[in-house]
Amino acid sequence: MHNKISTTFSDTSKERGFTFIEFIVIMSIFAIMSTVVLFNFKGFRSSVSVSNLVYDLALEIKTAQTLGVSAPGGINSVINAEPVITVLFDYSSGAFTNSFITFREMTGGSLGEYDQNNDVMIRQSTVMGGVLDDICIQQGQGQSSCSSLSGPVYISFRRPDPEPIITSQSCGGGTLPGFSFSTCTGRLKINMHAKDDPMRAYSIIIEPSGQVHVSSV
What is the reported pLDDT for 200? Answer: 80
Establish if 28 belongs to a structural domain.
no
Establish if 24 belongs to a structural domain.
no
CATH code assigned at 55: 3.55.40
Amino acid at 177: P
What is the reported pLDDT for 2? Answer: 52
What is the reported pLDDT for 150? Answer: 81
C-alpha–C-alpha distance, residues 182 and 154, integer Å: 10
Exposed/middle/buried for residue 105 (C-beta within 10 Å: 0-12, 13-18, 19+): buried
What is the reported pLDDT for 65? Answer: 92
Establish if 185 belongs to a structural domain.
yes
Structural domains in the chain (count): 1
What is the reported pLDDT for 52? Answer: 75
pTM: predicted TM-score of the whole model, two decimal places: 0.71
What is the reported pLDDT for 164? Answer: 93
What is the reported pLDDT for 188? Answer: 92
Establish if 27 belongs to a structural domain.
no
What is the reported pLDDT for 143? Answer: 58
What is the reported pLDDT for 110? Answer: 58
Exposed/middle/buried for residue 142 (C-beta within 10 Å: 0-12, 13-18, 19+): exposed
Instruction: Please state the three-class secondary structure of the chain as a single string.
Output: CCCCCCCCCCCCCCCCCCCHHHHHHHHHHHHHHHHHHHHHHHHHHHHHHHHHHHHHHHHHHHHHHHHHHHCCCCCCCCCCCCCEEEEEEEEECCEEEEEEEEEECCCCCCECCCCCCCCEEEEEEECCCEEEEEEEEECCCCCCCCEECCCCEEEEEECCEEEEEEEECCCCCCCCCCECCEECCCEEEEEEEECCEEEEEEEEEECCCCCEEEEEC
What is the reported pLDDT for 41? Answer: 47
Establish if 19 belongs to a structural domain.
no
Establish if 8 belongs to a structural domain.
no
Evaluate whether 181 touches 175 at the Cβ level (below 8 Å): yes
**pLDDT tens digit at each of 217 positions of the chain:** 555 555 554 555 555 556 767 767 777 776 677 665 555 545 545 555 667 778 888 888 999 999 888 866 554 444 445 678 899 988 776 677 777 889 887 654 556 677 777 788 888 887 777 788 889 998 766 556 888 888 888 999 988 889 999 988 888 766 666 677 788 888 999 988 887 777 788 889 999 999 999 888 7
C-alpha–C-alpha distance, residues 137 and 189, integer Å: 6
Establish if 168 belongs to a structural domain.
yes
Domain extent at residue 126: 45-216
Establish if 155 belongs to a structural domain.
yes
C-alpha–C-alpha distance, residues 217 and 193, integer Å: 9
What is the reported pLDDT for 212? Answer: 92
Evaluate whether 171 touches 183 at the Cβ level (below 8 Å): yes
